[in-house]
Chains A and B, each alone.
Chain A
């Protein structure tokens, strides 16, 4: 019931339609900075749209706030902080890299490394019979040629070349 009411309350907030021309700053460089900030701020009312994209009234207010701060000479970080001061870290679509988010930010890389390591360990731990059939050295090659010459009935099959490899694939069939 509470959730429903909340939804009701949010829907009834007057709606506009994302960045409005009237909000824009005259200075294109400043405006571009404002856009880059608000694109990474979360609109709290619509939950998963950015402030830049959202049509909600609150998003409009935050867009204006950020622009006012930039006009007043704030750096990007300061303008962002002004919004965080009011609404908390929840507004940041890009979570800060800090102890609470180390797991979040570094786990993907760690997983890849661990996964890669585990795969290598697994491959190494298997019997190596096929893993490395070393190519024929010169002595072997001479012996093979000699054997082939001895048995003239055999066609002169050359040492496997790259081109013959697709034939290997058939071994895997069925």
Chain B
């Protein structure tokens, strides 16, 4: 009964979405206020209905209603409650429902927080959101319905893939999807602007908070996915350049470019058609990612069980959404006139360089991900494009990028003084040089490229701090005055500083991963292995029952110079239902380095393979990502974005806010 309610809510949501996609659009064309206002109501109703459907599916999972095929295929009565809830999106159908749920959430948010938008723009934005909703609701209802019934109901379900039975499943997909789908708002704004034929600073100001929020969610989503892989896989890898990972990384790269180029539109009224294009491409890449993951055209560890009808359906959606918006772009964009002029060496110029490098980086990832498909489709050899390719192509593109991030914010708008900026960065040179020397000395004989990577991180981190010190005139004015300036800096300036600093922290983490050490030994209880400065002793291995598995739980004592630091418990878990074994690693971190212990196979004589890794600075990768996302949130809290401010700012004279810009 409740499943039917959910099913019915979805069908109803489809009809509401159809109204949302059409009526406000006509209203906007005919300047009919009543019709335009329909969009808002529809968005809220659609959100309510999809939330109801989501709740219905969750109910079916929690009550283990195996008459629902989706529950039967992906759940089991013995599964812990957390995984009954999160298992809702641990499969294709449920995750699509989460996808449209997030989509309707974004549309509802636009409906609620858009008092300051001109009614026609709001109507068009909501209509475009409605169109995307129509497409995906059709997709769910016709090819991926999670509410289909089974008769007779099986007594128990087939369970969730043990690899997914991890708290990571509770957070990683929702954040990731919120990021993907959040970019639909920027997309809708771009399409609406193309329909209106007008892009101005106010437009950029409206679209920026949505882009920022989605970017933060995507940053967190990707970072959590990477962390999940790190602690799950048993050998400490955190990024594999897998097609599905790349599918999430590409919107991030272009989304990052979009955040930066929209600053130029807002402040300088130029780069308009480029920014519109980025907004379209960012969401298009989210859609292409959805296609790649669910159509089965690429092989990936993460891909869902696939079927060709779904692929064809999503391809049609891509044709309509991406093809349509890009055609509109081809027709309308040439009419968008850029305003503000600037010299190549200027803040705008630096942001253009940022966009160029990020776009090239994204194109590289795109090509690497899809090249096997292209070659195969034209009858070429089957080949793989793996991490060695990306390390050799993508990484070099990001080096000038990171260097430029240190200098760009030091340049003035319109016309900057590169030499002056470079002179003012002298502290950063010293910091970089010292880091390089120390790192080279400490790791002598180790990988030189990684040392340079650490230097890069030091450069960026110190340059960011120098820029901030410049901004508050630290040591140039009395401290009290500097403090006063610091308090009055706009939040967006803090956001930039924090996010760029986060990037520096992550870069250090990436670079230092090359210094990792590894020790793999077969141990009997009582025996030890040595890694870095630590001694790891396998004390015992015990069999322990879990809720739906049995675990071999190892007690591994970590000592340093004879003093015990901790006893950690890596496990091997056997899930009898799926006949599958997973590893549960134990990680001891001091935030400067991780000691990572995984339990391998055991034999009848009580020998166990123990795998230990010492990974310096690796936590910084995710700490940096969190700092970046936090920077985004701080920027988001800038009072310029608050409801109504944009409308006032449009009327206010220039320079009303003494902000030196981000």
A–B proximity contact (CB within 8 A): yes
Let me know if A130 is at the binding interface, CB within 8 A.
yes
The residues of B with any CB-CB pair to A shorter than 8 Å are: 201, 233-235, 237, 240, 242-243, 267-268, 296, 299-301, 305-306, 338, 340-344, 347, 349, 352, 356-357, 359-360, 363-364, 367-368, 371, 375, 380-389, 392-394, 397, 412-417, 420, 520-522, 579-581, 583, 598, 600-601, 609, 611, 649-650, 652-661
Q: Which residues of B contact A3 (CB under 8 A)?
A: 296, 305-306
B367–A108 touching, CB < 8 Å:
yes
Q: Which of A40, A100, A123, A173 contacts B386 (CB 8 A)?
A: A40
A89 and B609 contacting across the interface, CB-CB below 8 Å: no
Task: Please give, as numbers and ranges, the residues of chain A lying within 8 Å of B301 by CB-CB distance.
Answer: 46-49
A40 touches B234 (CB 8 A): no
Task: Give bound CA distance, A74 to B415, whole Å.
Answer: 60
- Enumerate the 10 nearest inter-chain pairs by beta-carbon distance, A residue then B residue, closest first: A93-B386, A94-B388, A172-B267, A17-B600, A165-B412, A108-B364, A130-B341, A172-B413, A48-B242, A162-B420
For B412, B656, B659, the residue with the greatest tally of chain A CB atoms inside 10 Å of its CB is B412
Mark A19-55 against chain B: 1 for CB-CB distance below 8 A, else 0: 1111000000000000000001010001111100101
Q: Let me know if A100 and B380 touch, CB within 8 A.
A: yes
Q: Which of B341, B417, B657 contacts A173 (CB 8 A)?
A: B657
A46 and B234 alpha carbons, distance in the complex (Å): 15
Question: Which chain A residues have a beta carbon within 8 Å of chain B's beta carbons?
Answer: 3-4, 7, 11-12, 15-22, 40, 42, 46-50, 53, 55, 88-95, 100-101, 103-105, 107-108, 111-112, 115-116, 119-120, 123, 126-127, 129-133, 162, 165-166, 168-174
Which B residues are CB-close (under 8 A) to A89? 381-384
Q: For residue B413, which residues in chain A have a CB less than 8 angstroms away from its CB?
A: 168-169, 171-172
* Cβ contact of A100, chosen from B267, B357, B381, cutoff 8 A: B381
A16 vs B385: C-alpha distance when bound (angstroms): 25
Minimum CB–CB distance from A78 to chain B (whole Å) comes to: 19
Q: Are B343 and A132 in contact (CB under 8 A)?
A: yes
The smallest C-beta distance from B581 to any residue of chain A, in angstroms, reads 6
Contact A171 B654 (CB under 8 A): yes
A-B contact list, 5 entries, CB within 8 Å: A105-B393, A108-B397, A132-B343, A162-B417, A170-B659
> Closest chain A residue to B470 by CB distance?
A166
Cβ B654 vs Cβ A127 within 8 A: no
* Interchain CB contact under 8 A, B299 and A123: no
Residues of A within 8 A of B340 (CB): 172
Docked Cα-Cα span, A4 to B158, in Å, equals 14
CB distance from B357 to the nearest CB of A (A): 8
Q: How far is the CB of B316 from chain A (nearest CB, A)?
A: 21
User: B500: shortest Cβ distance to chain A, in Å?
Assistant: 17
In the assembled complex, how far is the CB of residue A79 from the closest CB belonging to chain B, in whole angstroms?
Answer: 17
Across the interface, do A174 and B415 meet the contact criterion of CB distance under 8 Å? no
Residues on the B chain within 8 Å of A42, using CB: 384, 386
Q: Which residue in chain B gives the minimum CB-CB distance to A174?
A: B654
Contact B296 A173 (CB under 8 A): no
By beta carbon, the residue of chain B nearest A16 is: B601
The answer to whether A90 touches B363, judged by C-beta atoms less than 8 angstroms apart, is no
Q: Is the CB of A17 within 8 A of B583?
A: yes
Q: What is the CB-to-nearest-CB distance from A13 to chain B, in angstroms, rounded to a whole number?
A: 12
CB-based contact A93/B343 at 8 Å:
no
In the assembly, what is the distance between CA of A42 and CA of B386, in Å? 8
| Chain B minimum-CB-distance residue to A89 | B383
Select A130's contact among B343, B368, B416, B521, beta carbons within 8 Å: B343
Evaluate contact between A174 and B655: CB separation under 8 angstroms.
yes
Instruction: Give chain A residues whose Cβ lies under 8 Å from the Cβ of B240.
Output: 48-49
Give CA–CA (A169, B347) in the complex, Å: 9
Find the B residue at minimum CB distance from A129. B341
Q: Are B299 and A47 in contact (CB-based, < 8 A)?
A: yes
Contact A172 B386 (CB under 8 A): no
Please give, as numbers and ranges, the residues of chain B lying within 8 Å of A120 by CB-CB distance: 344
Selected from B352, B357, B385, B583, the residue in CB contact (under 8 A) with A104 is B385
Q: Are B235 and A95 in contact (CB under 8 A)?
A: no
**Minimal Cβ-Cβ distance residue in A for B578:** A11
A120 to B343, CA, bound (A): 11
Q: Which residues of B contact A116 (CB under 8 A)?
A: 356
Task: Name the residue of chain A whose CB is nearest to the CB of B382.
Answer: A90
Bound complex: CA of A51 vs CA of B611, how far in Å?
Answer: 17
Task: Give the residue name and chain of the B residue nearest to A126 (CB).
Answer: B341
Cα A99 to Cα B387 with chains together (Å): 21
Interface centre among B234, B342, B384, B388 (most CB of A within 10 A): B384
Complex Cα–Cα for A3 and B384 (A): 19
A18 in contact with B234 given A48-B240, A112-B360, A131-B341 (CB within 8 Å):
yes
Decide if A112 touches B384 in the complex (CB within 8 Å): no
Among A95, A101, A162, the most chain B Cβ lie within 10 Å of the Cβ of A95
Cross-chain contact of A119 among B306, B338, B352, B609 (Cβ < 8 A):
B352
User: Considering the chains assembled together, what is the distance between the CA atoms of A42 and B240 in angstroms?
Assistant: 12
Verify A130–B414 contact, CB threshold 8 A.
yes
Give, as a whole number of angstroms, the nearest-CB distance from A8 to chain B: 11
State in angstroms the CA–CA spacing of A169 and B520 once bound together: 57
How far is it, in angstroms, between the C-alpha of A103 and the C-alpha of B393 when the chains are bound?
A: 13
Residue of A49, A91, A172 most packed against chain B (CB within 10 A) = A172
Contacts of A127 in B (CB 8 A): 341
Per the bound structure, the CA–CA distance linking A165 and B415 in Å amounts to 9
Contact partner of A90 (CB less than 8 A), chosen from B383, B522, B650, is B383
- Neighbouring A residues of B300 by C-beta, 8 Å: 47-48
Cβ contact within 8 Å between B383 and A101: yes
Expressed in whole angstroms, the Cα–Cα distance for A22 and B600 within the complex equals: 13
Besides A89-B382, A95-B384, A168-B412, 19 new A-B residue pairs in contact (Cβ under 8 A), listed by A number: A17-B600, A18-B611, A47-B301, A48-B240, A48-B242, A48-B301, A49-B240, A90-B383, A95-B389, A104-B368, A115-B360, A126-B341, A130-B341, A131-B344, A133-B415, A166-B660, A168-B413, A171-B414, A172-B661
